[in-house]
Amino acid sequence: MNKTPRIVEYRNIGSMSYQSAWDYQTELFDGVIAEKIRLRKEERTDVVPPNYMLICEHPPVYTIGKSGKMENLLLTEPQLKERGIEFFKINRGGDITFHGPGQIVGYPILDLDQFFTDVHKYLRFLEEGVIRTLAEYGIVAGRLEGLTGVWIDENDPEKARKICAMGIKSSRWVTMHGLAFNVNTDLGYFNNIVPCGIDDKAVTSMQKELGRQVDRDEVIQKLLAHYTQLFDWTLKNEAT
Q: Give the catalytic positions in this structure.
A: 196
Is residue 239 helix, strand or coil?
coil
Q: What is the Cα–Cα distance from 117 to 112, expressed in whole angstroms? A: 5
For residue 43, give the amino acid letter.
Answer: E
Q: Write phi, then psi, for 54 (nearest 5 degrees).
A: -100, 135
Q: What is the Cα–Cα distance from 137 to 217, expressed in whole angstroms? A: 14
Q: What is the Cα–Cα distance from 119 to 97, expressed in whole angstroms? A: 21
Please calculate the CA angle 49-52-57 and round it to the nearest 5 degrees: 160
Residue 41, CA distances (Å) to 36, 37, 92, 167 in order = 9, 6, 28, 31
